[in-house]
């Protein structure tokens, strides 16, 4: 099993000194996650750095931050993966700049892709880089309501929700043309398919944050703005409130009931479920049985 530490922005490179964070509780505490992981696999050594941003082109690292990350990864003896988000045309140009920079240092470097346009650009302009299909291009349903609804799926219906188009021959053939050999996953509330190992990919699992939904409209960015400017795609720069604030979400309508398995959070433009102890144990047990090759630990998801 390969262990990767996710570092979403430049100032967080300091996490390398203490990957699991401090022992006290809090939204960025990984003490419980560490306990569960080491209880399953023993002492853990991070051998890969995941650096970059899955969810927002406004939060992409600068050229200087990427340089720092590559240098530190080398000094620590860690392999390196650049993480990229879904993008607009302007964001695509920013990603291309980072890919050119990575190519100069690591011509066969690994890149997580969460946008079909980025995958196409890699095939055309950066063919030696190694693409990995990010979890946002994996359309496996991750809706926490699934198992709490009064008419929740069971049996064969539930089994179908554990799979997605990545298991099908048409998409496997397309991804093969783009030289995609690895895909990334969350452990969803309904679990993963028993035949995951037969899909034909190497697989990566993210812990402890799973993605429920994301989009270009950012709630936190709208704080403090006038009504005419709220909840619109951001045209200019961003003050990145997502680096400082979280929201824990609840549902008075009870469509999404509270669960001991996860807590639902919003950070920036994305809603996550943070897996709790017993759910984490289940995820790690399945990861071992299904032959998942890599686990990515996120201290913060954005």
Tens digits of residue pLDDT in 125-175:
999 999 999 999 998 888 877 766 666 767 777 888 889 999 999 999 999
Tens digits of residue pLDDT in 41-87:
999 999 999 999 999 998 899 999 999 999 999 999 999 999 999 99
pTM for the predicted model, two decimal places: 0.91
Tell me how far CA of residue 26 lies from CA of 30, 73, 93, 241, in angstroms.
9, 27, 36, 18
Q: Is 29 exposed, middle or buried (0-12, 13-18, 19+ CB in 10 A)?
A: middle
Which CATH architecture best describes the domain 2-211+275-298? Alpha-Beta Barrel (3.20)
Q: How far apart are alpha carbons 275 and 263 in whole angstroms?
A: 7
Write the CB contacts of 196 (distance below 8 Å, at least 6 apart in sequence).
203, 290, 291, 292
């Amino acid at each position: 099993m390969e262990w990767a530490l996710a570092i979403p922005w430049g100032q967080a490179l300091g996490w390398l000194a203490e990957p699991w964070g401090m022992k006290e509780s809090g939204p960025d505490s990984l003490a419980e996650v560490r306990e569960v992981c080491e209880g399953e696999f023993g002492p853990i050594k991070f051998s890969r750095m995941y650096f970059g941003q899955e969810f927002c082109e406004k939060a992409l690292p600068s050229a200087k931050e990427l340089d720092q990350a590559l240098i530190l990864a080398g000094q620590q003896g860690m392999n390196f993966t650049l993480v990229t988000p879904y993008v607009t045309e302007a964001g695509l140009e920013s990603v291309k700049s980072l890919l050119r920079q990575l190519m100069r240092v690591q011509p066969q470097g690994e890149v997580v892709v969460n946008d079909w346009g980025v995958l196409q650009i890699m095939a055309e302009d950066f063919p030696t880089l190694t693409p990995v299909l990010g979890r946002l291009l994996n359309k496996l349903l991750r809706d926490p309501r699934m198992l709490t609804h009064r008419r929740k799926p069971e049996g064969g219906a539930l089994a179908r929700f554990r799979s997605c188009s990545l298991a099908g021959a048409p998409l496997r053939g397309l991804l093969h043309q783009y030289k995609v050999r690895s895909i990334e996953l969350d452990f969803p509330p309904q679990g993963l398919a028993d035949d995951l190992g037969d899909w034909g990919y190497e697989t990566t699992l993210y812990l402890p944050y799973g993605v429920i939904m994301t989009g270009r409209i950012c709630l936190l960015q709208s704080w403090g703005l006038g009504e005419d400017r709220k909840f619109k795609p951001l045209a200019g720069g961003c003050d990145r409130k997502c680096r400082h604030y979280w929201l824990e979400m609840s549902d008075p309508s009870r469509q999404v009931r509270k669960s001991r398995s996860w807590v639902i959070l919003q950070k920036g433009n994305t809603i996550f479920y943070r897996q709790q102890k017993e759910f984490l144990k289940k995820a790690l047990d399945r990861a071992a049985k299904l032959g998942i090759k890599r686990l990515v630990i996120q201290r913060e998801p954005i």
